[in-house]
Amino acid sequence: MLLDGKVAIITGASRGIGRAAALRLAREGAKIVINYAGNHAAAEKTLADIKAAGGEAVLFQGDVASAQAAGELVKAAQAAFGRIDILVNNAGITRDNILALMKEEDWDAVIATNLKGIFNCTKAAAKVMIKQRAGKIINMTSVVGIMGNAGQANYAAAKAGVIGFTKSVARELAGRSITVNAIAPGYITTDMSAAIPEQAKADLAQKIPLSRLGTPEDVAEAVLFLASDAANYITGQTINVDGGMVM
Ligand code: NAP
């Protein structure tokens, strides 16, 4: 197995892409800390599915936007499994609106979860990885952080910020053999994209070279690659998992 004995924290692992990444990494032998915001039932389901497949995992409820919670998340991982090899900064939210109608609280919430959350969790986990002189950090950005998107100025700003953060921290941590990379998914079928009407999804698919929206499992495969030793010489990069939408 590719991740035998490794320990992975995955934020936002109760649903969608985080859940798929948790199941995929667990299948390769990683022990998983499933972080989530408040959806206990979904988090319990991820935990049960990992255990049913013979894997090991624990739950940690906590808001990544809180530095205190991020510190506790890292402590919980150490208490449960003794080390941290992989951090997948996946938790994210949307609060879409055109700029003229975007409320200050919608701007703040998206920046707090999608950008500051990554700062909080990376800072806390990197301390442990630096001592171990090894680690893999994977940050979830979006094609929207590269292209921009009308109605998502807050989300695009946060996701573009994630790319700059990824490159800077990759440079800082390279000397300790810690890699830091980002994944930019295109349109992936999760609760986050569920609000898009079916006709709009069909129209979107037509504009994607691979002619379909992505699945959480498509993204989980890229997470696995970047978390594995196969990616040891890759850092500071953003890998698009978008069916060719952006090239
Ligand atoms: P999703 O299905 O809406 O799931 C979001 C996950 O994040 C849930 O597990 C949720 O926990 C958790 N979460 C939200 N706020 C949190 C917080 N403050 N602290 C801790 N956990 C929190 O989303 P998704 O589509 O899988 O998206 C995952 C990531 O991929 C996000 O960063 C998103 O921006 C990015 N992405 C998604 C798409 C797409 O098309 N879906 C495209 C590009 C990028 P609860 O279940 O407890 O609420």
Residue nearest to atom 41 of ligand 1 (CA): 188
pLDDT score, position 47: 99
**Average confidence (pLDDT) over 171-184:** 99
How sure is the predictor about 68, in pLDDT bands with cuts at 50, 70 and 90? very high
Say if residue 85's pLDDT is above 90: yes
pTM (whole model) above 0.95: yes
Rounded to the nearest angstrom, the distance between the alpha carbon of 230 and the centre of ligand 1 is 26
Rounded to the nearest angstrom, the distance between the alpha carbon of 239 and the centre of ligand 1 is 18
Q: Which atom of ligand 1 is nearest to the CA of 213?
A: 40
Rounded to the nearest angstrom, the distance between the alpha carbon of 93 and the centre of ligand 1 is 6
**Average confidence (pLDDT) over 128-153:** 98
Residue nearest to atom 19 of ligand 1 (CA): 63
pLDDT score, position 12: 98
Any idea which of 21-30, 78-87, 189-198 has the lowest mean pLDDT?
189-198
How sure is the predictor about 195, in pLDDT bands with cuts at 50, 70 and 90? confident
Dump pLDDT digits (tens) for 200-243. 999 999 999 999 999 999 999 999 999 999 999 999 999 999 99
pLDDT score, position 138: 99
Is 36 catalytic? The answer is no
Which has the closest alpha carbon to 36: 49, 24, 22?
Answer: 22
Paired residues of 241 in beta bridges? 185
* Probe target for ligand 1 pocket from 15, 138, 213, 241, with the most ligand atoms within 8 Å of CB: 15
Q: Is 138 close to ligand 1, i.e. is its CB under 6 Å away?
A: no
Rounded to the nearest angstrom, the distance between the alpha carbon of 175 and the centre of ligand 1 is 31
Q: Is 190 close to ligand 1, i.e. is its CB under 6 Å away?
A: yes
